[in-house]
Amino acid sequence: MDDRRLAGPKKDYPDAAAYNDFRVMLDEMADDIDALAIGTPDHSHFPIAILAMSMGKHVFVEKPLANTFHEAELLMAAEKKYQVACQMGNQGHSGGNYHQFKAFAEAGLLDGVTKVVSHFNRGRRWHPWGDVPGFPEGKPVPQGLHWDLWHTTAEERPFSGRFHPGNWRGWYRYGMGAIGDWGPHILDTAHRFLELGLPTEVELVHVDRHNAYIFPYETTLRFRFPARGDKPPVEVYWYDGTANRPPEGERSGTAGKVLLGGKYDFAGGTHGATLQVIPEAVRKEVEGELPRFSTASNHYANFVLAALGEEQCRSSFDVAGPLNQVFNLGVIAQELGLQGETLAFDPQAKRFVDNDTANALLIGPPPRKGWESLYTL
């Protein structure tokens, strides 16, 4: 999509074929491609992945998995339909954090957790923009940038440096903000090993500088998950914004998570970082009793071995899809900007209760002309 980004790869792999249109690549090289690694802007993950899967290709899709709840649903269905190896690229889900959570869950150390507090308190690209009254008016397209193809299924708009490179994540239509970027690295293991599934409520507890086009400067979200068998209901909080930090005792550095209510309370960081019992006095007393676990694994190797039929993807779409959908629901609350209002959600029907506006955002805008068929594969 952007020839300017091909200089390095072309130097390292001078004989490799290069394409700007993934559809042409898959058409011309179908017999030579076994798997795809997809690291494009958030809004273009779905169309590339779904077409490749429909052609029997294994896919490694960087987080977030898809830009809308509906797209994530379609990718989960395609994983079952086409029986290909599918991995979301939250690489910590193969690290020590994954193995520790698994061991702690099996030992019953997570039983009774009723509250998870997660946060990301670092600056984002859109924070210096100030008031954004609409989409940018546009500037000339840089040479070598295939702007039409950059949009894939999204409505095409005039070029702006506030879209590309990198800035697309600040816009609801092209990205998933801080929660879509870092949520998969912070909440993935808690979501999986607490078996949270989908919530019944989403609330925008706090918002600073809500905007109809870009993500807020600060957000606090609260998700309520129902009881699962003998597991109690769980509240999950998400804080973003440089100054919007959880209360003392419920935060872990500038990005991380705290689990409360179980046999012990835990604090952890992001990606593969492991949990520590808190407070420190308790940690010193019990650390020798905690289960041992391995940290020897690799997310990329796991995907390759899964494509070869030797392993199962740890962050397969049936695992990563519901996680991504939790974040999709949070993004909808951010976009609506209704501070203090609880959005009731039906996990079985996968719809908001009596809220047509929110339900429309589950699907998002229709794909632009010529790209509709990808939603029927």
pLDDT at position 9: 87
* Cα–Cα distance, 160 to 148 (Å, whole number): 13
- For residues 114-142, average pLDDT: 96
**Is the pLDDT assigned to residue 370 strictly greater than 90?**
yes
pLDDT at position 10: 87
- For residues 65-85, average pLDDT: 98
Owner of token pair 């949070």:
330
Count CA within 13 A, CB hemisphere, residue 352: 23
pLDDT at position 6: 84
Element (H, E) at 208: strand 201-208
What is the percentage of the chain residues whose pLDDT exceeds 70?
A: 100
pLDDT at position 7: 82
Give the CATH fold of the 91-329+343-376 domain: Dihydrodipicolinate Reductase; domain 2 (3.30.360)
Of the pLDDT bands very low, low, confident and very high (cuts 50, 70, 90), residue 250 is: very high
**Is the pLDDT assigned to residue 296 strictly greater than 80?**
no
Q: Is 118 helix (H, G, I), strand (E, B) or coil?
A: strand
pLDDT tens track for 307-366: 999 999 999 999 999 999 999 999 999 999 999 999 999 999 999 999 999 999 999 999
Report yes or no: 246 and 239 within 8 Å, Cβ to Cβ: yes
pLDDT at position 8: 85
* Cα–Cα distance, 301 to 303 (Å, whole number): 5
pLDDT tens track for 180-206: 999 999 999 999 999 999 999 999 999
Contacts 24+ apart (CB under 8 A), 129-138: 129/162, 129/170, 129/214, 131/211, 132/211, 132/213, 132/214, 134/213, 135/160, 135/171, 135/213, 136/160, 136/162, 136/163
- List the 58-61 sheet strands across, edge first: 35-38, 58-61, 86-88
Structure tokens at 73: 């649903």
Length of the chain measured in residues: 377
Element (H, E) at 112: none
